[in-house]
Structure 1
Amino acid sequence: MTRTWVLPMLLLLCGSAVATGLVLSGSPGEASAILLLFVLLAGVNSSLAFPRSVGAQEAQCRSALDGRPVVYWRPGCKYCLRLRIQLGGSARQLHWVNIWRDPAGAAAVRASNDGNETVPTVIVAGRPHTNPDPEWVRQQLARSA
């Protein structure tokens, strides 16, 4: 669980240090802008930008019942963020599994990707798809509805 928050906390710490230096050098406006930028970066790279994650087993059970895809992801992954942003509101209909919080999810990703934890890995009808096009994922979601 702590790995999930390492990058956001580092971004906040670095942003605070830079902003403090700017305030001390007499640039409070610049310091505010820099701090805001670092806070936004921390938010985007945190778990807060993604729908609530569930465990791999729960996601598989839910997917078996409703047919919706399962997305394995991790914080700080730019490809996961791209998928999340491009899916927009429909991302909440998918079953998201944070592989840094769920060892079974990480194992499922490694089994699908020759031992690598390559994310996002999207499971549709039991078949893994590594870093798929967001439009394709949207189409799969529409088919499951």
Structure 2
Amino acid sequence: MADRPTRGCLWRRPGHETSLRRRDVRPARCRGRRMSATPVEVLWRPGCPFCVKLRVGLMVLGVRATWRNIWDDPEASALVRAHNQGNETVPTVRVGSVVLTNPSAGKVRSLARRSSGR
């Protein structure tokens, strides 16, 4: 009976110990990855769920970014409106000279890597 797995507890079955473990979601700096060298600037506002999703995604991927609140920073607000046809659509991300509206964390990481020459 000791070799039999407990019903509903697949992680205790021999040979399956590592298959159901959670992914390592620590920031990349903790896992030994290098951070992006190109400056990434994220223009955001409080209460935006898309901004929270991007923040978590960038943290998991290990991308450092400067976060500017468009409600506190008139220059950031003007930049967002200039690139979004007068709308304050966030998150708006600037990587070097490229500006993206509501990108995925993976897109930001790949753009930052391409811009830095890696």
Residue number in structure 2 paired with 1:75:
46
Q: Name the Cα RMSD after superposition.
A: 1.8
Gaps of 5+ in 1: 1-65
Contact 2:58 2:105 in 1 (8 A): yes
CA positional deviation for 1:104: 0.8
Secondary structure of the corresponding residue to residue 140 of structure 1: helix
Counterpart residue number, 2:57: 86
SS of the equivalent of 2:109 reads: helix
Q: CA–CA distance in 2 between the matches of 1:127 and 1:141? A: 10
Q: In the alignment, is the contact (CA less than 8 A) between 1:72 and 1:99 conserved in 2?
A: yes
- 1:117 corresponding residue in structure 2: 88
* Preserved contact between residue 94 and residue 141 of structure 1 (Cα < 8 Å): no
Deviation of the 1:83 alpha carbon: 0.3
Equivalent residue, structure 1, for 2:19 = none
Q: Write out the 4+ residue segments of structure 1 that deviate beyond 6 Å after TM superposition.
A: none
Which aligned pairs between 1:1-145 and structure 2 lie closer than 5 A? 67-88=38-59, 90-91=62-63, 93-143=64-114, 144=116
Indicate the SS of the match to 1:71: strand
After superposition, what is the alpha-carbon deviation per residue over 1:47-83, rounded to whole angstroms, capped at 9, x for unaligned? Answer: xxxxxxxxxxxxxxxxxxx631211011110100000
What TM-score comes out, normalization by structure 2 length? 0.60
Tell me the matched-pair count.
79
Equivalent in the alignment of 1:37: none
Greater gyration radius: 2
Q: Secondary structure at the match of 2:86?
A: coil
Of the two structures, which has the highest relative contact order with CA contacts closer than 8 Å and spacing of 6 or more?
2
Structure with the bigger percentage of helix: 1
